[in-house]
Homo-oligomer: A and B are copies of this chain.
Amino acid sequence: MAFKIGLLGLGTVGTGTAQILLDPSGRNPLVEELEIYRVGVRNPEKTRPVQLPPGAVTSDLESIVTDPDVDIVVEVIGGLEPARSLILKAISHGKHVVTANKAVIARFGDEIYDAANEAGVYVLLEAAVGGGIPVIQPLKQALGVNRIRSVIGIVNGTTNYILTRMQTEGADFADVLAEAQKLGYAEADPTADVDGFDAADKIAILASLAFGGRIKLEDVYREGISQVSAADIAYADKLGFVIKLLAIANREMLQDDPTDRLRLRVHPTLVPRTHPLASISGVYNAILVEGDPIGQVMFFGPGAGAGPTASAVVSDILNIAAVLKSAGGHRSTGVSPVAAEENSPSPITNYPLPITNLHPLLTCTHQHYCKIAPIEELTTRFYARFLTKDRPGVIGKLGTSFGNHGVSIESIVQTGFQGEFAEIVVVTHDVREGDFHQALDEIRTLDSVDSIPSLLRVL
């Protein structure tokens, strides 16, 4: 028996996916039972690097997700629409779905999983985070017995490539970005990567799986890397740190906060050089998971690219095929034929859901939203760089202002001059983010302080 795949999209990842499916020898034998049955593309006339079955290619993507013979729909077109609508329609027609689309899942995951649970189908998304690195499956399965304390990831290859080159070459952000765009490592519009939106999508997905609750994307605090300067990278280096764009989700109890709230954030971070994440260079990704009783485990690999991402996509297809084989069936009958005919996505219902026959580690059944602590309540160390007038007593004034707000300083060093101004770098001990910003507000009123060009958190 073959499982019929409806592939939506034949870009880089879609082509990589087709290449694996069309050339199964030497892979898991089950790959031979996966058949590329239909392929949806914008332009069916275009010449493709893969030899697809005659008649499989169409520009009518709706006809694929409603095709009664398709078992599994693979969505690799990306973007929000029509991806979201096609996924929902596939679900309402009883198809299992595999997607690489972090943007859709991070924004519409609740709607999609409600529909999938109601229809009794799987929606798998290994490729959405970390490219080929197996991290979604391990979080659901191997690590699920742990109480997860934190998930910390370098999950955006573009920004890691830029920061790595800034580090090794002492180059400035704008120059490296321009070079990365020329090499194809950064998009023409780099906002999604450089401003941390992509990483925020990914940590929302990882946190949802790790902590077993839904995440609202707007709850993820987010800062990009465009403010990171060559000077900061050099100072961080002297202090024993490298600067990485980290995506962090953790469940740390504060003494004055007995509630079980998550902290979710994406920002450039000073990482101690001895930390496992410090050595992750270039376009590689890594995800570090800490839990009880496992301790720390890390997953490392290529975070993007046709081959790695296609590997993750096909592994999801394989997992669905395997579960269907062991359960002895192919497809759910989906929701009522009426709903399906009306082409309406399933309505959102209130639980419990009738999902008794789905594999419980491959579904997404949690319904509540995680409580998120505001960034002001974060406790962290800070690195800050000040430009001040070159006068005696400035360091004393900075120290006094920090002290007024309970901010304890680890080091305060005048590192040199920038034009007429003296440059001072401060590293704090653990402080409450809100207190630190109050201290900065006071410092900004000081006559001797010109500006605070850099403000970074320390892991």
Contacts and interface: CB of A to CB of B under 8 A. Distances in A.
Interface residues of A, number: 61
A345 interface: no
A147 B307 CA distance: 12
A301 B311 contact: no
Interface of A: 16, 19-20, 26-31, 126, 132-134, 137-138, 141-147, 212, 276, 279, 291-302, 305-308, 310-312, 314-315, 318-319, 322-323, 325-328, 356-362
B302 A300 contact: no
Nearest to A359: B326
A144 B28 contact: yes
A326 B319 CA distance: 13
Which secondary structure characterizes the binding site on chain A? Answer: mixed
A85 to B, nearest CB: 28
Given A27-B146, A326-B359, A141 B293 contact: no
A319 B31 CA distance: 21
Given A146-B311, A300-B300, A311-B145, A360 B325 contact: yes
A246 B30 CA distance: 31
30 contacts: A19-B293, A20-B293, A27-B145, A27-B146, A132-B294, A133-B297, A134-B142, A134-B143, A137-B141, A138-B138, A141-B315, A142-B311, A145-B315, A146-B311, A276-B279, A276-B300, A291-B311, A293-B306, A293-B310, A294-B301, A294-B302, A295-B301, A295-B302, A295-B305, A297-B299, A300-B300, A323-B323, A323-B359, A326-B326, A326-B358
A347 to B, nearest CB: 25
Nearest to A296: B301
Contacts of A357: 326, 328
Q: Number of copies of this chain in the oligomer?
A: 2
Given A30-B361, A293-B306, A315-B143, A301 B298 contact: yes
Contacts of A307: 292-295
A20 B144 CA distance: 11
A322 B359 CA distance: 6
Contacts of A28: 144-145, 212, 361
Given A134-B138, A300-B300, A145 B314 contact: yes
Nearest to A312: B142
A26 B311 CA distance: 32
A145 B293 contact: no
A242 to B, nearest CB: 13
Contacts of A295: 132, 301-302, 305, 307-308
B27 A144 contact: yes
Most buried by B among A276, A295, A297: A297
A52 to B, nearest CB: 18
Nearest to A289: B301
Nearest to A292: B307
A319 B141 contact: yes
Contacts of A142: 126, 134, 137-138, 311-312, 315
A100 B65 CA distance: 44
A324 to B, nearest CB: 9
A68 B360 CA distance: 25
Contacts of A126: 142
Question: Closest 3 interchain pairs by CB?
Answer: A293-B307, A134-B142, A297-B301
Contacts of A302: 294-297
Most chain B beta carbons < 10 A, residue from A126, A142, A361: A142
A408 B79 CA distance: 54
Nearest to A319: B141
Contacts of A143: 134, 311, 315
A145 B307 CA distance: 11
Contacts of A30: 144, 360-361
A440 to B, nearest CB: 36
A134 B142 CA distance: 6
Given A134-B143, A276-B279, 20 more contacts: A27-B144, A27-B146, A31-B144, A126-B142, A134-B134, A137-B138, A141-B315, A144-B318, A145-B311, A146-B311, A294-B301, A295-B307, A298-B300, A299-B299, A319-B361, A322-B360, A322-B361, A322-B362, A325-B360, A326-B359
Contacts of A137: 137-138, 141-142
